[in-house]
Amino acid sequence: MCGIVGIVGKEAVNQSIYDALTVLQHRGQDAAGIMTIDKSMFNLRKANGLVRDVFHTRHMHRLTGNVGIGHCRYPTAGSSSSAEAQPFYVNSPFGIAFAHNGNLTNAHDLEKEVFTVARRHINTNSDSEILLNIFADALTKISDFEVTPDDIFDAVALSHAKISGAYAVVAAIIGFGMVAFRDPNGIRPLVLGKRTTLLGDEYMVASESVAIDAVGFTFVRDVAPGEAIYITEAGQLHTKQCAPMAKFNPCIFEFVYFARPDSFIDGISVYASRVNMGRKLGEKIKREWAELDIDVVIPIPETSMDVALQIANTLDLPYRQGFVKNRYIGRTFIMPGQTQRRKSVRRKLNAIKSEFKDKNVLLVDDSIVRGTTSEQIIEMARESGAKKVYFASAAPEIRFPNVYGIDMPSANELIAYGREIDEISECIKADGLIFQDLHDLVDAVNEENPQITRFETSVFDGNYVTGDVNQDYLERIDKARGESAKGSPTIQTELSNLEMHNMSN
């Protein structure tokens, strides 16, 4: 669930892109990159690591220019190698820098087409590099030496017709400007911002509105599903709907977990949707656990905190911070391997024993995916003296793989796969376990924008909106990306030495 950003400014954009990436860091912790256009050259810095570790002052000095794009990566295709960090680059037609959030479902077929028909070489296993080459090939076919807004929109339309899956994209084209587009289902988010300066208007696109707030731009609107935005280097804005059947199917997991609560996505406040989730789950707990002897509601920091507070209010119970989060440890779910994820839970969260001693506690989390967090947290609550430990999840049981940009390629890794609620409860050793119902989750988010008629909910119900995901496909991604396919950490490290890009130190 990477973070992307792009700015066409009147002055240097490097610092604003850096600042935007720091507030999109929760979307991808593995690698980061910035590419700027300075006259007729690109400047690039990308590497594995957090934004604050990838860019040093010496890199920032060299990232000159008034147009640039940035990316922070959470890999969902290929490997964690720094060669797959983004932005990617191609040199024909023109120089194009490219950053992508999402995941393609027909990358395998497209790769063949790129090689045999477009005669282009793909140098990594990243689906984003394929997507870039599909777009570049479309632009080659359509444009001459000059690029008009219509050329850009025709190239995006041609790309939409070929690509399947989830993609929010930002690209910078040397000599012309910046292009951004969103897949026709609008699965991944993308917003447009503007800032008026004495030198003229500046434009920005980003994965979440929080990035627009952070760098002092004003939120204009969400980019529509299928729509393309083209901002010339001179700062002229052009927009066009480029997909005939575009419709909103935003990923519901953005609201459950991925996005920051202070962001708005497709007209929906992420925070308000989480408060609604808490209210609905609180009401379900009241209905189904009427006899329950809960003394206190405790969130599992950080994402579940807004939900847990609302559950406590609905149940009229005290809300207490029983766990302290180490602010220097990132999100565990988006870490690359299960070993690292397991180790990080205890490094990240520590219990305040007095909040548990001799109490029946209700622990609240936004979701249970592999069960890594819940199992260890329940153990910590018991070690801290809790009498009984109940557990509530603001999302329903996750039983299906994700193919649209969340790294859950294998059903076998999901704790709810093939298990009923009492079996899951037994696995995580809870005294009672309750999940939100899917219709309540959808209503909780939908209440904030009733115009959206459908959400992408495949991890809960197995309905994949692109219509091309079958058992064969799921088996292939399981083999290619499941935990057993990812290899040992040593192999990962070796892979990370295979890279091909500039500014490596």
Ligand X SMILES: NC(=O)CC[C@H](N)C(=O)O
Ligand Y SMILES: O=P(O)(O)OC[C@H]1O[C@H](OP(=O)(O)OP(=O)(O)O)[C@H](O)[C@@H]1O
Residues with a known catalytic role:
2
Instruction: Pick out residues in 332-391 that bind ligand Y (CB under 6 A).
Output: 332-334, 365-374
Q: Crossing angle for the helix pair 372-383 and 421-428, nearest 10 degrees?
A: 60
Question: Measured from the CB of residue 481, what is the shortest distance to Mg ion in angstroms?
Answer: 22
370 is in the binding site of which of ligand Y, Mg ion, ligand X, none (Cβ under 5 to 8 A by kind)? ligand Y
* Tally of CB atoms within 10 A around 342: 16
With binding defined as CB under 6 A, does residue 182 bind ligand Y?
Answer: no
CA distance 248 to 149: 24
Rounded CA-CA distance 156/149 in Å is 11
Longest dimension (CA), the chain: 75
- 154 or 254: CB nearest ligand X: 254
Q: How far is the CB of 86 from ligand X (least distance, A)?
A: 6
What's the gap between Cα 219 and its chain centre?
A: 20
Please state, in angstroms and rounded to a whole number, the distance separating the CA atoms of residues 76 and 46: 18
Q: What are phi and psi of 149, to 5 degrees?
A: -55, -40
> Smallest Cα–Cα separation from 205: which of 184, 186, 231, 187?
231
Closest distance between Mg ion and the C-beta of residue 390, in Å? 17
Question: Would you say 164 or 310 has its CB closer to ligand X?
Answer: 164
Residues within window 50-69 making contact with ligand X, judged by CB under 6 A: none
369 binds, among ligand X, Mg ion, ligand Y, none (CB under 5 to 8 A by kind): ligand Y
Which residue type is seen at 302? Answer: E
128 binds, among ligand Y, Mg ion, ligand X, none (CB under 5 to 8 A by kind): ligand X
CA separation for the pair 272, 294 (Å, rounded): 25
What mask, x for binding ligand Y by CB under 6 A, covers residues 475 to 504?
------------------------------
Minimum CB separation of residue 371 from ligand Y in Å reads: 5
Pair of tokens at residue 136: 């570049």
Of 75-83, 198-206, 308-316, 389-397, the window that binds ligand X (rule: CB under 6 A) is 75-83
x/- contact string, 376-415, with ligand X (CB under 6 A)?
-----------------------------x----------
Nearer to ligand X, 43 or 86 (CB): 86
For β-strands 96-104 and 349-351, DSSP reports them as unpaired
Nearer to Mg ion, 303 or 376 (CB): 303
Binding window for ligand X (CB under 6 A); candidates: 99-107, 210-218, 357-365, 485-493:
99-107
For residues 372 and 410, which CB has a smaller minimum distance to ligand Y in the complex? 372
Residue found by looking up tokens 């079996």 in the block: 423
Residue 1 near which of ligand X, Mg ion, ligand Y, none (CB within 5-8 Å, type-dependent): ligand X
211 bridge partner residues: none
DSSP lists the bridge partners of residue 71 as: 4, 33
Q: Is 366 assigned a ligand-binding role in the annotation?
A: yes
Cβ at position 367, least distance to ligand Y in Å: 5
Q: Which residue is nearest to ligand X (CB)?
A: 2
Contact predicate 28/255, CB 8 Å: no
Nearest to 442 by CA among 392, 396, 391, 393: 396
Please state the closest distance from residue 175 (CB atom) to ligand X, in A.
27
Backbone φ and ψ of 174, nearest 5°: -60, 130
Residue number closest to Mg ion, CB atom: 303
- Which regions of 311-423 does DSSP assign to beta strands (E)? 323-325, 349-351, 360-365, 388-393
Q: Please work out, in degrees rounded to the nearest 5, the angle formed at the alpha carbon of residue 285 by the alpha carbons of 315 and 363.
A: 80
Distance in Å, CB of 331 to ligand Y, minimum = 3
Q: Does the protein bind ligand Y through residue 407 (CB under 6 A)?
A: no
Residue 225: name the closest of 167, 268, 267 by CA.
167
Q: Where do contacts with Mg ion occur on this chain (CB under 5 A)?
A: 303
Site of interaction with ligand Y (CB under 6 A): 257, 300-303, 331-334, 365-374
Annotated binding site for Mg(2+): 303, 365-366
Known binding-site residue numbers: 303, 365-366
Sites of contact with ligand X (CB under 6 A): 1-2, 73-78, 84, 100-103, 126-128, 405
